[in-house]
Amino acid sequence: MQRLIAVSNRVPKPGDRYTSGGLSVALRNALERAGGIWLGWSGEVQEAPDSEPKAQTTRFNNVDYVTVDLTRRDEEEYYNGFANRALWPLFHHRPGLTEFARRDMAGYYRVNQIFARILAPMVRPNDIIWVHDYHLIPLASELRALGVKNRIGFFLHIPWPAPELFTILPNHARLAVNLVNYDLVGFQTKPFMDNFIAYLKEEMNINAQGCLVEAFGRICQLGVYPISIDTQEFIRFAEAPASAIARRLEASLQGRMLALSVDRLDYSKGIPQRIDAIGRFLELYPEYHNRITALQIAPTTREAVPEYAEINREVAEAAGRINGRFGDIDWGPIRYINKSIGRATLAHLYRAAKIGVVTPLRDGMNLVSKEYIAAQDPRDPGVLILSRFAGAARELRGALQVNPYDIDGVAHALRAACEMSLEERIARFEPMLQHLKIYDVHRWRDDFIHALTPDHALAMSA
């Protein structure tokens, strides 16, 4: 019996089906089907710094949820430090925000070793192991060092940077070798995979044969697996009777058009630039004063990292500036909220929005853009304005694609969205919805797991 083992920084709560996102549900379904383990940080900090890290196991529906408490120092160095102050900004092409400290790097490797030491004794010979995201790049190497010979796959949820940016990291070569220690490495888009292949060639003199990298006595297969959403779930949510919050929103709009944005509050999402573009739109097209309301939902994240407090201040200032300049006693163009909204309600808000404004400066995929499309009314769909720098732009061709740095360009796209005929909206929307019905998160998961199973590997190397 081939079990599945998933490893990610955080682990969803067992049985918590309602609030979980599409990715958690898709992975959990696969784990429950095959039986397996989901391992990661509990999110808790253990106060006794010197004791051996404790793992707790909760069994639910055929799956062992194994969570590990970290020390304050682990959290600081591994999570806030190396993962979120070095890898995250650099992989999003923001070297100016990147802070590298050798102490953090050591903490990053230490926590990966902790995870490996806890996992290795649980692994059975036929298990396949699927590791998620930039927090855990060294995990396969650490597991191999402990004698684990199973197939191990890695999926990177964020972009892979251009080679000249990746080399800013003092330990770039070590991380690249860590990646080659996987049997399968999945990227969101082909350009991200090509960045990695270019790095291997330029810096390490390793030539990939198509998607196969043969190096350090191993064969590593690379592939493109664009992540998606649970499309049917979003359609169902959006078609259910509107929740009280959605009704409150509709009433408060008083017939004005809604332009909606939903992002974790993160500097990669381009929120200040987007707010400036709304200001520019109101400046260029005064006929829209009092006819449009922009709602920015941005729950705060990673509050221990100083750049995140800074982005909150920046967004609040930008929104205040635009409201002060264009608002009136009975209308403010921008509503900015930091609280999180339930998923079903979110689907109603997407549906109520005539325009979805999704303009990250750089984004691995961006699921909000896909959720917005799935939630539309097929008889009267809204218009998606989408950054060309989101991975999703390669699939959602019917969106109005924009350069988020070009404030005038985004302002013009807002106008085009406001004016677009029903016929054009439907023509743009339908192929995108069809695409999302086929390429949903279940398909994404199955494609990756299929490529990771041993039979497939034999076929590839034959």
Helix 231-239 and helix 367-374: axis angle, to 10°? Answer: 50
* Strand ranges inside 49-113, DSSP E: 55-60, 63-71
Give whichever of 26 and 452 is closer to ligand GDG, judged by the CB atom: 26
The least distance separating ligand GDG from the CB of residue 414, rounded to whole angstroms, comes to 20
Q: Which of 158, 305, 315, 413 binds ligand GDG (CB under 6 A)?
A: 158
Token pair of 349, please? 């808000």
- The residue from 69, 183, 266, 363 that is catalytic is 363
Q: Pick out residues in 215-244 that bind ligand GDG (CB under 6 A).
A: 227
Nearer to ligand GDG, 311 or 365 (CB): 365
Size of the site for ligand GDG (CB under 6 A): 20
Range 284-303, binding ligand GDG (CB under 6 A): 297, 299
Residue 154 Cβ vs ligand GDG, minimum distance, rounded to whole Å = 13
Which is nearer to ligand GDG, 326 or 389 (by Cβ)?
A: 389
Classify residue 43 as left (phi > 0), alpha (psi -120 to 50) or beta.
left
Q: What is the closest distance, in whole angstroms, from the C-beta atom of residue 356 to ligand GDG in the complex?
A: 12
Catalytic residue (one of 157, 276, 442, 447): 157
Q: Is 157 a catalytic residue?
A: yes
Q: What letter does residue 214 receive in the DSSP assignment?
A: E
β-sheet with 184-187: strand ranges across: 55-60, 63-71, 36-46, 4-10, 128-132, 151-155, 184-187, 218-224, 212-215
The nearer residue to ligand GDG, 150 or 387, going by C-beta atoms, is 387
Residue 18 or residue 379: which is nearer to ligand GDG going by CB? 18
Separation CA 389–CA 95 (nearest Å): 17
C-alpha span between 229 and 197 (Å, rounded): 28
Q: Which residues sit opposite 70 in a β-bridge?
A: 45
Within 10-69, which residues bind ligand GDG (CB under 6 A)? Answer: 21
User: In whole angstroms, what is the distance from residue 309 CA to residue 431 CA?
Assistant: 39
Contacts of 169 (CB under 8 A, 6+ apart): 86, 87, 90, 100, 175
Coil/strand/helix, residue 439: coil
Judged by CB under 6 A, the chain residues 352 through 411 that form the site for ligand GDG are 363-368, 371
Cα gap 447→207, rounded to integer Å: 25
Binders of ligand GDG in range 300-359 (CB under 6 A):
340-343, 346
Q: Does 185 bind ligand GDG (CB under 6 A)?
A: no
Active site residue 412: no
Q: How far is the CB of 48 from ligand GDG (least distance, A)?
A: 32
Token pair belonging to 416: 């085009």
Give 185 or 365: the residue with its C-beta nearer to ligand GDG. Answer: 365
CB of 326 to ligand GDG, least distance (A): 26
For residue 185, the cross-strand partners are: 154, 222
Separation CA 88–CA 308 (nearest Å)? 12
Measured from the CB atom, the residue of 27 and 368 that comes closer to ligand GDG is 368
Q: How far is the CB of 369 from ligand GDG (least distance, A)?
A: 8
Query: Can you tell me which residue has the tokens 């270019």?
Result: 198
Taking the complex as a whole, the smallest distance from the CB of residue 364 to ligand GDG amounts, in Å, to 3
CB 434 within 8 A of CB 398: no
User: In the complex, which residues of this chain contact ligand GDG (CB under 6 A)?
Assistant: 21, 157-158, 227, 262, 264, 297, 299, 340-343, 346, 363-368, 371
Active site positions, annotated: 157, 363
